[in-house]
Amino acid sequence: MAPARGLTARLLLAALLLVLGCSAEPRSSGVTLVFKHAHIIGPVDPIPSLLRAFEADHPGVRVTSESLPWSSDEQHQFYAINLEGASAGFDVMMLDLIWVPEFARAGWLLDLSPFVDAQGLSPYFPSAASAATSAGRVWALPWNMNAGLLYYRADLLAKYGLRPPETWDELVADVQRIKAGERDPRLDGYVWQGKQYEGMMVNVLEAFWASGTTLLGDDGRLFPHPERAADALAFLRGLIESGISPAWVTAADEELSRRAFGDGHAIFLRNWPYALDLFRGPNSDLRDKVGIARLPRRTPDGAGAGSTGGAHLGVSKRSAYPELAVALARFLTGARAQKDMMARAALYPTREALYQDPDLVRDHPALPRIHTLMLAGRPRPVTPHYLVLSTTLQPEFSAVLVGIKPARRAIDDGRRRLEHFLGSAR
């Protein structure tokens, strides 16, 4: 009987070691997670230190950070090619929030609903939380927040006794008055993003809203007020033809337009909040000379609203370590990480409470004002078909802005093409 008892003892010992081994989370041993994100603009990149903090809390886990091109269109192309392929090669990804429904529908994202319920999304801006969900499921976590703002030269407006314009007519009159007084041929009026890419789409959408219309109605109808949409497009072209905006805006993205304004060569600028900290930096020529306001409206029933945007973090459905990848996404979208990113890189948080954080407000006094402007913003159409909408309409809108196509024809042609494409997709 002794050999049998010895065998039993060895089997019990082996079972005990197996249980202990399982409780030690072996998946955390020797694991490498890959985090894909856009290049971080700012004085300090907070990502490395945040990833080291996550690794310290998860012994045996290493996180590799890999940056993507600045252009959101190029980022989308990268994701689509790799996620549709056999192996994505990354675990956590930074997504433009408008991609979430599309990526979820394509089956590229891990369903986060088992890890995050509706209460878990309550600290975020409602628009950001809404963009993180589709078909009643949570597919991503809000990471940083954006809204289109009107930047203005506070020193020049004060010099001529002007207030920030509330309508486009006021902005045009302000530009004409200031340019006539300054007599500086290098000084442009209003600079914005007119290059054929997603940034141009945002500027056009904001012009639609300012004119009392939209791209996609609540009933799903495309261009519910085509005459207003055409008028808004023609207005943007008119800014260029009249000299209120320089011709080069049709090749401008966020950074090109920001640099022109930051160099003192423009009176007004449309851009995202990240630019404010650069304008107010110690080496800026415009330190203490820049103000922010809502974008103007054109019609009495129009809305001076900036487009809300920003980035969410999603987890690849093909991640070999889904629980750890979710933990990383939750850590990076937590209050500690978002505060650090705001403090060091001026990436504006999606957690509303941080806009009243005493430490952040001390160093960024405009935070409460930006919070108000973000709440007043409007989202781009939240639909799995947004990429089709954008890529179909970009060449149509661009043709109007560069002056080679009438606005109403562009609206009609764009609608016909979209009805064909979307009809085939349904």
Q: How much is the mean pLDDT over the chain?
A: 90
Helix ranges, 160-271 (H): 168-182, 198-210, 226-241, 254-262
- For the chain, domain boundaries: 28-144+309-379, 149-305+385-425
Give the tens place of pLDDT for each residue, 116-153: 987 889 999 999 999 999 888 999 999 999 999 999 99
Q: Taking each helix axis from N to C terminus, what angle separates 386-401 and 407-425, rounded to the nearest 10 degrees?
A: 160
The CATH classification of domain 149-305+385-425, taken from the options 3.40.190.10, 3.10.310.30, 3.40.50.300, 3.30.450.20: 3.40.190.10
In the predicted model, is pLDDT for residue 16 greater than 50? no
Instruction: Please state which of the ranges 219-223, 289-293, 381-385 shows the lowest mean pLDDT.
Output: 381-385
CA atoms within 13 A on the CB side of 123: 17
pLDDT of residue 40: 83
- Least confident among 26-30, 62-66, 245-249: 26-30
Q: What is the mean pLDDT of residues 108-121?
A: 92
Whether pLDDT at 97 is above 80: yes
pLDDT per residue as tens digits for the range 244-301 = 999 999 999 999 999 999 999 999 999 999 999 899 988 899 999 999 999 999 999 9
CATH homologous superfamily of 28-144+309-379: Periplasmic binding protein-like II (3.40.190.10)
Identify the bridge partners of residue 92 per DSSP, sorted by sequence position.
35, 315
Q: What is the pLDDT of residues 156-176, one digit of tens each?
A: 999 999 999 999 999 999 999
Residue with token string 């529908």: 105
How big is the CA angle at 185 (ends 179 and 188), to the nearest 5 degrees?
60
